Structure formats: C-alpha cells, structure tokens
C-alpha cells in the first residue's frame, strides 16, 4: 500500500495557521515519555530544543513568505502573529537551554517541567494568533495555569511555595476581572469576534456596561503585565521561582498581556475611534497615567532592593510602564516601537536573569553584595551584566537605547507633528535616568568593591552560550535596529490596516 502524500498536504493546508503551535503541543505530550525512557536531563533538553527549533523554523518561513491565513474564525496568522510568536519561541528556547544546567531545576521532574514550559509557550502563541475574545482568554489561561505550576516546582525552597500561592491568588483575581470584562463586551457588541466588535461599537452610544467592561479588562490585563497598582505579585514570584522560570515569566509571560491589550484595545478602539462609545482620547489618558505611575513606582522602589532578583522584578515593572506608552499614543509607529522594545527587553533583561541563574548554579547568592569582586572572578560575566544593565538604562549605542529612542519619540512626534504626550516622554526619560542609579550599584559591586572570595568561577556551557547570544543581540540590535524593526513595522500595519 503506497503512502498518499496528498493527505499530509491537505492536513497541513487545513491547519497551517496553527502549524507552529501544533509542533509545540506534540512536544509537550512526548516530553514526560522521553524523560521516563531516558532518565536523563540532557536527552530531554535535546528533544525540547529540537521541538522549539522546528516550531521556530515553521514560523520564520511563514513570516518571510508573508503567509496569511485564518482558521475557523478563531485564529489568524499574519505578520503581527508571526513576530509575537517568534518572541515567545526565543524566550522558550533560552529557558530550555539553561534549565538543563541550572541547580534550581535539579529536584524538579524534568519531563513535566519541559512539558509545562511548552504548554505555557503554546498558550502565548495562541494569544498572538487569536482573532476572537474566547481564544484570547483560553490562550491567556493556558499560559497562566502552567506558569503557576512552574513557579511551585522549586520544591526545595519554601519561598517558591509562598510565591506560587500568591501568584494563584492574584492570577485568579485577574482571570475573574478579565472574564467579566470580556463577557460585558460580548453583551454590548453581541459577538466575540474582535473585528466584528469594532464594527458594532462604531454605531453605538456610551453605556455603563461598556464602561464596566473597559475598567475590568484594564484591571485584569494590568495584573498580567504587572502594571501599578496591580503589580504586588511580581517581586515575590520573581524571587521565589527558579531563575530560568523567572526569566521565562519576566521576558515572555508578561508580554502576553500586552499582546491581548494590543489586539483588543487597538483594533477595537482605533478602528472605531471616530464614533466609538468610549472616546479614544479619554482611554489614552487612562493608559498614560497608568504608564507614568508604573514606570515611576518600579524605578523608585527598585532603588531600595538588596536582592538582585527583586531589583530586576521592579525594573521589569518599570519596563512595563515604558511599553504602556504604546497604549497612550495609539499610533502605528508607537506600536512598532513598542514591539521592538519588547524584543530588546528579551535579550537585555533575559540576559541579566541568565547571569543571575548561572551564578546561583555555581554557588553565588542573590544579594547584590554577593556580586562584590565578580569582575576578577568571572570577567566576561561581569562585562555581560554591565552591558545588559546599561542597555536597560538606555545607554547608547546598545539595544535598549535604540528601542527607547523609538518608543519615547513616538510620544513626542506623530507624522512630524508634536503630540500631546510630550510630558509622558519626559517622565519616561527621567525614569530612565533614575534606573541608572540602581543599575550602577551592581556594576560598582562587581568592579570596585572587593569580595571575600577571589577564586575563579566556571560557568556552565549552556549558560555561557545563552549569555553570549544575548550580548551579541544587545549590540547588534542597538547598531542595526532595522533587522527587527522592519518586521515590527509590518506587524503594526496589520492592526492599523
């Protein structure tokens, strides 16, 4: 009996918009079996990386080809989906690469750990491709529930159990608010399709149901992105979780909330801005105020932190405030700039967490004082950490400077005309200056202060490879931003098209 290749072709043609996610789902299902069959972390990690690489290959080929397709009116693959999926895949790749060498994953069931990691990434990818409120919610919940378990898997540390409980409680509240807002929005528009909602709202007047939907959705997604005042969970969770998981949450999971914000608020309210029930300008001011408060609280509180994971957690809160500039400005250029900053954030903040995880693995503590004399014990690691921190602060010519330049300038000029958001750009610049203070505390500890131990440190090879990759991209994206910015511009055009 001959194999009929047309069957494969037909199946792929039917499910091609979901091809990158299907690969990840299959990988998640086989991970426990691989672990039971081999009992080796290295074998599981090799299969895990291969799964992510195959999924990434599908996605990149689809991006380069300009592929667009819809599946059942629930998912749509386009330039925006492709760029966001690539971001999530990069985060998952780094997490899988270093977790095999991390001392913090030693007591975890490694097959379950990788299965949960793939499932969480799949949820994020579903949100990136979702064209319906239902699929957005399901994708967010898939990513969230698996993240709760990933945080709790560090059984050797009681802080992880505490962090997981807090994460579940805050996550449950976030879910309730989000679902309530989505249901109210469905009641007002009579549909769950995002584009159809935009059309329906453009012909309606303001209603209290619509106002409640906006408030609860902003609060619900605010928890996901750790925007002030919905940020209280982030420092404890980042500190308690295993560092590879912390990196995954800080650079990947939080971005899901932004993707949902972009898809719902930008598509619905920019498309219906002329006659929408809720004036777009009023909504912009709400986001502008949240952005300003978030970046300020994140940076100011970070100054007093002595634990480097908590310091980086508050830094991530501040970074969320910067990205929220997109929601205040609501322009195509602002969205492209915000997406570019999300990419640079993966490499600079992800690189910083990679170094923290590598040092924990070789016995270095989490306090900033534990980094004293690191420049002599591990010169490259100290150099890389300095590079990442200065990039986060926006020092030229690193990637963080370039992405902040694009993002902040979007709040100043729109098509060559000065906007009303100049004050927000000023607040962002001022906060970047504040952040430089607490970043230099770490640099000072590494290069100026003397440590109690002068013995050289040997970093695991997987950590070194991941850190080197982040260093390269932090430099390259700072000097040649168009490598990613062009894709981000194409993605932004989809939502504003």
Percentage of the chain with pLDDT > 90? Answer: 50
**pLDDT average, residue stretch 387-404:** 94
The upper half-sphere exposure of residue 471, i.e. CA atoms within 13 Å in the direction of its Cβ, equals: 16
Q: Tell me what pLDDT residue 109 has.
A: 78
What's residue 1's pLDDT? Answer: 41
pLDDT tens for 415-472 read 767 778 899 999 999 999 999 999 999 999 999 988 777 788 888 899 999 999 999 9
Percent of the chain beyond pLDDT 70?
93
The better pLDDT of the pair 157, 337 is held by 337
Average pLDDT, rounded, for the chain = 87
User: In the predicted model, what is the mean pLDDT of residues 406-416?
Assistant: 86
Looking at residue 146, its pLDDT comes to: 92
pLDDT band at 274 (very low <50, low <70, confident <90, very high): very low
pLDDT in tens, 477-492: 999 999 899 999 999 9
- pLDDT at 277 (0 to 100): 43
pLDDT in tens, 357-378: 999 988 888 899 999 989 899 9
Q: What's the confidence (pLDDT) of residue 336?
A: 94
Read off the pTM. Answer: 0.92
Question: In this predicted structure, what is the pLDDT of residue 270?
Answer: 64
pLDDT at residue 307 is higher than 50: yes
What is the pLDDT confidence band of residue 201, given thresholds at 50, 70 and 90? confident
**Predicted pLDDT at 210:** 79
Query: Judging by beta carbons within 10 Å of its beta carbon (0-12, 13-18, 19+), is residue 314 exposed, middle or buried?
Result: buried
Q: Which of 268-277, 325-334, 403-412 has the lowest mean pLDDT?
A: 268-277
pLDDT tens-digit map of 69-107: 888 788 889 899 999 999 999 999 999 999 888 777 766
Task: Give the confidence band of 15 by pLDDT, cuts at 50, 70, 90.
Answer: low
Q: How many whole angstroms separate alpha carbon 219 and alpha carbon 181?
A: 9
pLDDT above 80: residue 10? no
């Amino acid at each position: 009996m001959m194999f009929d290749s047309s069957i494969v072709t037909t199946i792929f043609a039917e499910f091609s918009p979901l091809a990158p996610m299907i690969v990840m789902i299959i990988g998640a299902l086989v991970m426990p079996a691989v672990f039971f069959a081999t009992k080796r972390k290295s074998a599981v990690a090799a299969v895990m990386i291969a799964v992510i690489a195959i999924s990434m290959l599908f996605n990149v080929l689809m991006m380069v080809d300009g592929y667009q397709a819809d599946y059942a009116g629930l998912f749509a693959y386009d330039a925006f989906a492709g760029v966001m999926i690539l971001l999530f895949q990069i985060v998952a790749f780094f997490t899988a690469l270093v977790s095999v060498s991390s001392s913090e994953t030693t007591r975890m069931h490694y097959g379950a750990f990788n299965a949960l990691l793939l499932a969480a990434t799949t949820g994020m990818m579903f949100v990136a491709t979702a064209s319906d409120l239902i699929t957005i919610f399901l994708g967010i919940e898939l990513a969230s529930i698996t993240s709760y378990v990933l945080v709790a898997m560090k059984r050797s540390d009681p802080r992880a159990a505490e962090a997981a409980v807090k994460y579940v409680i805050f996550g449950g509240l976030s879910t309730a608010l989000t679902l309530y807002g989505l249901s109210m929005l469905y009641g007002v528009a009579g549909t769950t399709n995002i584009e159809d909602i935009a059309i329906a709202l453009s012909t309606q007047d303001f209603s209290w149901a619509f106002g409640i939907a906006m408030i609860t959705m902003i609060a619900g997604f605010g928890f996901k992105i750790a925007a002030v005042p919905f940020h209280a969970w982030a420092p404890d969770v980042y500190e308690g979780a295993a560092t590879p998981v912390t990196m995954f949450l800080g650079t990947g999971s939080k971005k899901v909330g932004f993707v949902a914000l972009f898809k719902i608020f930008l598509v619905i309210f920019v498309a219906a801005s002329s006659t929408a029930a809720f004036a777009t300008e009023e909504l912009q001011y709400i986001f502008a105020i949240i952005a300003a408060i978030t970046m300020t609280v994140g940076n100011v509180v970070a100054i007093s932190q002595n634990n480097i994971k908590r310091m980086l957690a508050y830094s991530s809160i501040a970074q969320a405030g910067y990205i929220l500039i997109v929601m205040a400005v609501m322009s195509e250029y602002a969205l492209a700039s915000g997406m570019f900053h999300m990419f640079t954030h993966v490499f600079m903040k992800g690189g910083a967490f990679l170094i923290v995880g590598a040092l924990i693995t070789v016995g270095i503590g989490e306090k900033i004082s534990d980094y004293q004399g690191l420049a002599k014990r591990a010169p490259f690691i100290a150099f890389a950490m300095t590079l990442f921190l200065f990039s986060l602060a926006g020092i030229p010519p690193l990637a963080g400077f370039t992405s902040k330049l694009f993002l902040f300038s979007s709040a100043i000029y729109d098509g060559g005309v000065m906007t009303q958001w100049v004050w927000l750009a000023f607040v962002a610049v001022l906060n970047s200056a504040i952040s430089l203070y607490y970043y230099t505390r770490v640099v000072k500890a590494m290069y100026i202060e003397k440590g109690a131990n002068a013995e050289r440190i040997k970093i695991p090879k997987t950590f070194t490879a991941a850190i080197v990759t982040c260093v390269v991209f932090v430099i390259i994206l700072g000097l040649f931003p168009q490598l990613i910015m062009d894709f981000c511009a194409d993605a932004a055009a989809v939502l504003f098209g």
